[in-house]
């Protein structure tokens, strides 16, 4: 048994892949999506539920921002890699796992990494003690069985493997990640995470279990035990599967008697997919991932810490995934790196109910490396918009569009008819944007594809 008075809290961070804001029952989905989500709905009632939790618009940028507490453009990860032979986090970056490891945590990752697939850039090079999962993306599971796949034509055109590694060792290929393994991998990740937590509790060591599941990224294929369970199609079956896996993690925490001393976080890397027939649901928000719309940027976020975060708390205040790094650092007594800009903001007092307002009022909106606009409170100022991803044209405007997300959640009615009464919002928005642009001059972003070793230029004032 772990005493919450005598030990640092464990941290379990579940990150879904392309799970939209509106999928869970507690966010208006669940049975209207064909599958109830009772375990996740109950989790929401036991802690904090965010209605305005913001992320980056794509997989790699979002994971980079989450783990470094920095906008992805700063780390050279603003875009999903397509043609860059070297990508991901440079070794110079300091990750959440490194911060937690430095204060005595056992750190394990079970799932999708997507922040580098070359020597020196795997999870166990970036602060994790152990890893089991995939280096890149689940769409690569199509390749091995495709008649059009030509392995060997390039050293980069190769099947993706499920890999395993420990700190200080080179990762090993366990098995090819193909359409046979795709439906079963998340069950394996759950079992590995449970086993990791059991080991650490037995060793009386605080742990960080980072579980970036591959669901619900396409291809959406339920595992054998869930195939046909709902009678409402593959996506509904997979939604039930997600709820079950999270329930197993929660049950393990209870069985280990560490519930009161474990911070449990559930969220997603970005909004839902737009690809037929794997498209997801963003609830009341417009758009999908790869866009600048709220459906891309807002995702579910649940956080439970018994006795520290009030049960049943709900807020529409702005929070960003980058805020988790400094918030957790404060909780565990970890240090933030002082030699670089950290964009995340400590939100502990807000999450714990000591204050009503978030410490964050604004978010800079990027799609890839392109700056599209700014969110400030309930307003959004956009100089560019991208309503659909995958090659759709970006619409650019000489005069910015302003959206009031209270009155216009689907971003269909920019405020031209009300410019006289609403244009005052340009001043606080411009201040937030100017501060961000100044920070990019003071500390120039790392160019995408930068190899190691990376040494930053001296910062300017």
Q: What is the pLDDT of residues 147-200, one digit of tens each?
A: 998 988 988 888 999 999 999 999 999 999 999 999 999 999 999 999 999 999
Q: What is the DSSP string of 17-32?
A: SS--TT-SGGGT-GGG
In this predicted structure, the answer to whether residue 419 has a pLDDT above a threshold of 80 is no
Q: What is the CATH number of the domain that holds 120?
A: 3.40.720.10
CA–CA gap between residue 184 and residue 379 (Å, rounded): 42
Per cent of the chain over pLDDT 90 is 87
> Do the beta carbons of residue 289 and residue 390 sit within 8 Å?
no
- pLDDT band at residue 423, thresholds of 50, 70 and 90? confident
pLDDT, position 193: 98
In this predicted structure, the answer to whether residue 227 has a pLDDT above a threshold of 50 is yes
> Do the beta carbons of residue 443 and residue 459 sit within 8 Å?
yes
**314 and 412: one domain?**
no
> Do the beta carbons of residue 17 and residue 215 sit within 8 Å?
yes
The residue-averaged pLDDT of 331-337 equals 98
Q: What is the pLDDT of residues 341-372, one digit of tens each?
A: 999 999 999 999 999 999 999 999 999 999 99
**86 and 129: one domain?**
yes
Q: What is the pLDDT of residues 203-219, one digit of tens each?
A: 999 999 999 999 999 99
**341 and 390: one domain?**
no
| pLDDT mean across residues, the chain | 94
pLDDT, position 1: 36
pLDDT, position 461: 63
**96 and 228: one domain?**
yes
Q: Is 148 exposed, middle or buried (0-12, 13-18, 19+ CB in 10 A)?
A: exposed
Minimal CA–CA distance to 402: which of 418, 391, 389? 418
**30 and 155: one domain?**
yes
Minimal CA–CA distance to 303: which of 262, 266, 254? 266
In this predicted structure, the answer to whether residue 280 has a pLDDT above a threshold of 50 is yes
**End-to-end distance of the chain based on CA atoms, in angstroms?**
50
- Number of other residues whose CB lies within 10 A of the CB of residue 413: 13
- pLDDT band at residue 422, thresholds of 50, 70 and 90? confident
Q: What is the pLDDT of residues 103-158, one digit of tens each?
A: 999 999 999 999 999 999 999 999 999 999 999 999 989 988 999 989 889 888 88
In this predicted structure, the answer to whether residue 231 has a pLDDT above a threshold of 90 is yes
CA–CA gap between residue 310 and residue 117 (Å, rounded): 40
Q: What is the pLDDT of residues 15-38, one digit of tens each?
A: 999 999 999 999 999 999 999 999
What is the set of active-site residues? 59, 114
The residue range of the domain holding 68 is: 10-351
**218 and 338: one domain?**
yes
The residue-averaged pLDDT of 297-314 equals 98
Determine, yes or no, domain membership for 452.
Answer: no
168 conformational bin, left if phi > 0, alpha if psi -120 to 50, beta if neither = left
Last residue of a domain, one of 332, 351, 370: 351
- pLDDT band at residue 276, thresholds of 50, 70 and 90? confident
- What is the token pair recorded at 216? 């619900």
CA–CA gap between residue 444 and residue 421 (Å, rounded): 37
Last residue of a domain, one of 299, 331, 351: 351
> Do the beta carbons of residue 10 and residue 262 sit within 8 Å?
yes
- Residue 48: beta bridge partners? 303, 313
- pLDDT band at residue 2, thresholds of 50, 70 and 90? very low
In this predicted structure, the answer to whether residue 457 has a pLDDT above a threshold of 90 is no
CA–CA gap between residue 89 and residue 75 (Å, rounded): 7
CA–CA gap between residue 96 and residue 77 (Å, rounded): 16
**386 and 246: one domain?**
no
In this predicted structure, the answer to whether residue 5 has a pLDDT above a threshold of 70 is no
**204 and 99: one domain?**
yes
**31 and 153: one domain?**
yes
**227 and 325: one domain?**
yes
Question: Which run of H or E residues covers position 16?
Answer: strand 10-16
CA–CA gap between residue 234 and residue 238 (Å, rounded): 6
Residue 164 three-state SS: strand
Q: What is the DSSP string of 234-294?
A: HHHHHHHHHHHHHHHHHHHHHHTT-GGGEEEEEEESSS---STTS----TTS---TTSSSH
CA–CA gap between residue 98 and residue 407 (Å, rounded): 42
Task: Report the number of distinct structural domains present in the chain.
Answer: 2
CA–CA gap between residue 377 and residue 363 (Å, rounded): 9
- pLDDT band at residue 416, thresholds of 50, 70 and 90? low
CA–CA gap between residue 287 and residue 274 (Å, rounded): 8
Determine, yes or no, domain membership for 1.
Answer: no
Q: What is the CATH number of the domain that holds 406?
A: 3.30.1120.10
Determine, yes or no, domain membership for 344.
Answer: yes
- Number of other residues whose CB lies within 10 A of the CB of residue 146: 10
């Amino acid at each position: 048994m772990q005493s919450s008075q005598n030990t640092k809290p464990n941290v379990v961070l579940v990150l879904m892949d392309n799970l939209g804001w509106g999928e869970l029952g507690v966010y208006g989905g669940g049975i209207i999506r064909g599958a109830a989500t009772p375990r996740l709905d109950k989790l929401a009632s036991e802690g904090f539920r965010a209605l305005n939790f913001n992320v980056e618009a794509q997989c790699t940028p979002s994971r980079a921002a989450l783990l470094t507490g920095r906008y992805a453009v700063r780390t050279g990860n603003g875009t999903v890699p397509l043609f860059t032979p070297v990508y991901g986090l440079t070794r110079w970056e300091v990750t959440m796992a490194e911060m937690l490891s430095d204060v005595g945590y056992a750190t394990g990752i079970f799932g999708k990494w997507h922040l580098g697939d070359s020597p020196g850039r795997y999870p166990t090079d970036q602060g994790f003690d152990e890893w089991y999962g995939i280096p890149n993306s689940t769409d690569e599971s199509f390749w091995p069985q495709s008649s059009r796949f030509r392995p060997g034509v390039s050293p980069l055109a190769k099947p993706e493997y499920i890999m395993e590694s420990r700190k200080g060792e080179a990762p090993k290929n366990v098995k090819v990640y193909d359409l046979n393994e795709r439906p079963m991998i998340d069950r394996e990740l759950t079992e590995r995470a449970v086993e990791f937590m059991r080991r650490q509790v037995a060793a009386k060591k605080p742990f960080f279990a980072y579980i970036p599941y591959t669901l619900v990224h396409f291809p959406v294929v339920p595992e054998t035990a869930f195939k046909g369970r709902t009678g409402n199609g593959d996506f509904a079956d997979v939604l039930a599967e997600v709820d079950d896996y999270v329930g197993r993690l929660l049950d393990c925490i209870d069985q280990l008697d560490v519930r009161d001393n474990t911070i449990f976080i559930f969220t997603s890397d970005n909004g839902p997919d737009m690809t037929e027939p794997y498209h997801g649901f963003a609830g009341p928000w417009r758009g999908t991932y790869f866009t600048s719309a709220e459906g891309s940027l807002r995702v579910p976020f649940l956080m439970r810490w018994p006795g520290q975060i009030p049960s049943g708390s709900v807020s529409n205040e702005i929070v960003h995934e980058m805020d988790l790094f400094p918030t957790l650092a404060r909780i565990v007594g970890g240090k933030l790196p002082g030699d670089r800009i950290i964009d995340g903001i400590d939100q502990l007092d807000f999450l714990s109910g000591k204050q009503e307002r978030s410490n964050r009022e604004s978010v800079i909106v990027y799609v890839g490396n392109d700056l599209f606009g700014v969110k400030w409170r309930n307003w959004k100022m956009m100089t560019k918009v991208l309503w659909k991803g995958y090659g759709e044209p970006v619409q650019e405007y000489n005069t910015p569009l302003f959206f009031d997300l209270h009155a216009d959640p689907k971003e269909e009615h920019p405020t031209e008819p009300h410019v006289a009464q609403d244009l005052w919002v340009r001043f606080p928005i411009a201040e937030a944007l100017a501060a961000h642009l100044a920070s990019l001059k003071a500390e120039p972003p790392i160019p995408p594809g930068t190899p190691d070793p990376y040494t930053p230029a001296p910062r300017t004032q």
